[in-house]
């Protein structure tokens, strides 16, 4: 879309900004990949305790995420609104990544391990949200034109592939017995999990330092919107009255349900349902899907340019549904690798529409209210991402409990294996099917999108003149 002038972003700035994806995805995907398997199979915390822990975690998110988003939008410092939060979260998040895998197992108490598990969930969510929410918010504020967002977005997605090496491949190279098939080596396995957490912590510190030093510079005319921020109650009220955002939440929730279920159950599914012996293959399978998703970005960008973000989302979801079912009922590891290529293409569409649509929604909101409120929108989205995990864990708990896998057994029965297949394939396919409804009714398209872009360009011009 021609906005009157080209907005070129230097490659160095794009690369430095994209380093945030390395730490961000290393933290999130390591957590998603290992947290359930570690506390279920290694710590042997009963499934009921794990489910309760995640439900309580969700309740915390209902308070924590909107509050951080609201406070971020109102933050006034010489460095802007977002940078102080990102800098403040860096070291705490790195420490939490190590603490994830250091529960007091030696005390041999489910209650003590549960309390530790719950506290760690709270600490992870708080520190991760403080960085991630502001990192995403500043993206839509630093890069306003579609050209700038697209060029920077492609570099960001490329750096996701680097993060996947640390999140998916490295753990399977370090941890020999990822699902505790041989309990006699439990001490060695725990130390290997802890080493993984230490490496993740180092990656987070290094990558966050790079983005904070060279990748982030908040536009002064937007960071000053803190002065006109709404009250907390009005902020939430106007956010949830935004029809575009409400329709978007349906496919956003569905996308994250599908994204989260695979790494959560991949170790148990591939070891017990597919009979995979080599842990490294688990990492390769997971990484392949995300790598293909990143490589497919130019395809989805072309669709977005010609048809818009909404149509890219619709096509991406449809392309994802069939292979995700086939994956669950694959009969060999070779078949899994082939199916993951098609899964990755669908995932690429899901991730692409997600980033583009939320930026469009924040743009529209700024046009409506005159103040850019990226923080609260990403806060609500973060809550829905956590909600997707809760929904997944509640269903996992129900399936495991009804198939006699309330506590970990390295030799699950046939019903449990079937349950794993349904959870990792049929269930996310149904959710993605429902997501099509929300994506279909998403209203920012065509003339509405063009008008929003025109008004936004005028508004930013007025803000720059008024604050020079």
Tokens in use for 455? Answer: 């008004």
By mean pLDDT, which of 80-84, 172-176, 224-228, 398-402 is the weakest? 224-228
Structural domain count of the chain: 1
Question: Measured in Å, how far apart are the chain's first and last C-alpha atoms?
Answer: 28
Q: What is the sign of the dihedral through the CA atoms of 150, 156, 161 and 167?
A: negative
Q: In three state form, how does the secondary structure of 113-160 look? A: HHHHHHHHHHHHHHHHHHHHHHHHHHHHHHCCCHHHHHHHHHHHHHHH
Q: Considering the domain boundaries, does residue 375 fall inside one?
A: yes
Average predicted confidence (pLDDT) for the chain: 90
Given the structure tokens 């921020």, which residue do they identify?
A: 229
Task: For residue range 144-164, list pLDDT tens digits in order.
Answer: 777 788 788 778 878 887 898
pLDDT recorded at residue 2: 43
Return d(Cα 71, Cα 223) in angstroms, integer.
13
Residue 4: pLDDT band with limits 50, 70, 90: very low
Q: What percent of the chain has pLDDT over 90?
A: 65
Tokens in use for 217? Answer: 């510079």
Q: Could you list the residue range(s) of the whole structural domain that residue 165 is in?
A: 11-215+230-466
Q: Where are the alpha helices (DSSP H) in 296-332?
A: 297-307, 309-328
Nearest to 204 by CA among 293, 296, 127: 127
The residue among 294 and 7 whose pLDDT is bigger is 294
The residue among 76 and 99 whose pLDDT is bigger is 99
Nearest to 41 by CA among 174, 187, 180, 191: 180
Q: Considering the domain boundaries, does residue 190 fall inside one?
A: yes
Could you tell me the CATH number of the domain that includes residue 245? 1.20.1250.20
Task: For residue range 47-59, list pLDDT tens digits in order.
Answer: 999 999 999 998 8
pLDDT recorded at residue 148: 85
Return d(Cα 96, Cα 133) in angstroms, integer.
18
Cβ atoms of 255 and 439 closer than 8 Å: no
Please check the confidence at residue 372 and state whether its pLDDT lies above 50.
yes
pLDDT recorded at residue 105: 86
Q: Considering the domain boundaries, does residue 225 fall inside one?
A: no
Residue 467: pLDDT band with limits 50, 70, 90: low
Q: In three state form, how does the secondary structure of 247-263 look? A: HHHHHHHHHHHHHHHHH
pLDDT recorded at residue 468: 56
Which residues are CB-contacts of 124 (< 8 A; sequence separation ≥ 6)? 31, 93, 96, 97, 100
Please check the confidence at residue 1 and state whether its pLDDT lies above 60.
no
Tokens in use for 387? Answer: 């909600």
Cβ atoms of 291 and 161 closer than 8 Å: yes
Given the structure tokens 């929730």, which residue do they identify?
A: 253
Please check the confidence at residue 451 and state whether its pLDDT lies above 70.
yes
Q: Considering the domain boundaries, does residue 5 fall inside one?
A: no
Radius of gyration of the chain (CA): 22
CB atoms within 10 A of CB 98: 17
Please check the confidence at residue 3 and state whether its pLDDT lies above 60.
no
Q: Considering the domain boundaries, does residue 421 fall inside one?
A: yes
The residue among 271 and 223 whose pLDDT is bigger is 271
Tokens in use for 8? Answer: 């070129």
Q: Considering the domain boundaries, does residue 4 fall inside one?
A: no
Q: Considering the domain boundaries, does residue 393 fall inside one?
A: yes
Task: For residue range 321-370, list pLDDT tens digits in order.
Answer: 999 999 999 999 999 999 999 999 999 888 888 888 998 999 999 999 99
pTM: 0.83
Q: Considering the domain boundaries, does residue 223 fall inside one?
A: no
Residue 141: pLDDT band with limits 50, 70, 90: confident
Tokens in use for 100? Answer: 């994830």
* DSSP letters for 229-289: PPPHHHHHHHHTT-HHHHHHHHHHHHHHHHHHHHHHHHHHIIIIIS----HHHHHHHHHHH
8-35: average pLDDT:
93
Tokens in use for 465? Answer: 């003149």
CB atoms within 10 A of CB 231: 10
406-425: average pLDDT:
94
Tokens in use for 152? Answer: 């920077």
Return d(Cα 75, Cα 442) in angstroms, integer.
31
């Amino acid at each position: 879309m021609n906005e009157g002038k080209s907005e070129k972003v230097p490659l160095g700035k794009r690369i430095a900004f994209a380093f945030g994806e390395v730490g961000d995805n290393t933290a999130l995907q390591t957590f998603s990949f290992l947290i359930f398997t570690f506390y279920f199979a290694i710590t042997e915390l009963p499934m009921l305790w794990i489910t309760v822990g995640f439900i309580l975690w969700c309740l915390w998110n209902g308070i924590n995420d909107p509050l951080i988003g609201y406070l971020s939008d109102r933050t006034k410092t010489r460095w802007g609104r977002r940078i102080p939060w990102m800098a403040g979260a860096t070291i705490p998040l790195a420490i939490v990544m190590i603490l994830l895998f250091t529960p007091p197992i030696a005390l041999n108490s489910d209650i003590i391990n549960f309390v530790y598990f719950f506290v760690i969930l709270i600490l992870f969510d708080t520190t991760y949200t403080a960085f991630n929410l502001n990192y995403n918010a500043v993206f839509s504020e630093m890069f306003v034109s579609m050209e700038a967002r697209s060029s920077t977005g492609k570099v960001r997605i490329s750096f996701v592939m680097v993060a996947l090496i640390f999140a998916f491949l490295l753990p399977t190279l370090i941890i020999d017995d990822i699902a505790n098939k041989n309990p006699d080596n439990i001490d060695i396995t725990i130390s290997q999990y802890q080493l993984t957490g230490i490496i993740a912590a180092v990656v987070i510190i290094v990558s966050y330092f790079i983005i904070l030093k060279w990748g982030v510079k908040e536009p002064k005319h937007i960071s000053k919107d803190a002065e006109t921020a709404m009250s907390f109650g009005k902020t939430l009220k106007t956010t949830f009255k935004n029809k575009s955002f409400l329709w978007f939440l349906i496919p956003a929730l569905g996308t994250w349900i599908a994204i989260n279920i695979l790494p959560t159950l991949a170790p148990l599914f591939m070891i017990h349902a597919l009979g995979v012996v080599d842990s490294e293959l688990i990492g390769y399978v997971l990484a392949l899907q995300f790598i293909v998703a990143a490589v497919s970005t130019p395809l989805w960008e072309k669709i977005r340019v010609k048809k818009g973000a909404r149509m890219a989302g619709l096509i991406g979801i449809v392309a994802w549904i069939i292979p995700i079912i086939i994956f669950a009922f694959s009969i060999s590891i070779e078949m899994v690798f082939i199916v993951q290529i098609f899964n990755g293409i669908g995932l690429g569409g899901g991730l692409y529409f997600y980033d583009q649509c939320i930026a469009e929604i924040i743009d529209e909101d700024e046009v409506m209210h005159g103040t850019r409120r990226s923080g609260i929108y990403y806060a609500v989205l973060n809550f829905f991402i956590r909600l997707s995990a809760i929904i997944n864990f509640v269903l996992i708990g129900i399936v495991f409990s009804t198939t006699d896998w309330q506590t970990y057994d390295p030799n699950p029965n046939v019903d449990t294996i079937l349950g794993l297949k349904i959870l990792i394939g049929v269930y996310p396919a149904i959710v993605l099917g429902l997501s099509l409804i929300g994506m279909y009714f998403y209203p920012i398209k065509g003339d509405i999108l063009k008008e929003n872009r025109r008004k936004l360009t005028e508004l930013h011009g007025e803000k720059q003149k008024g604050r020079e």
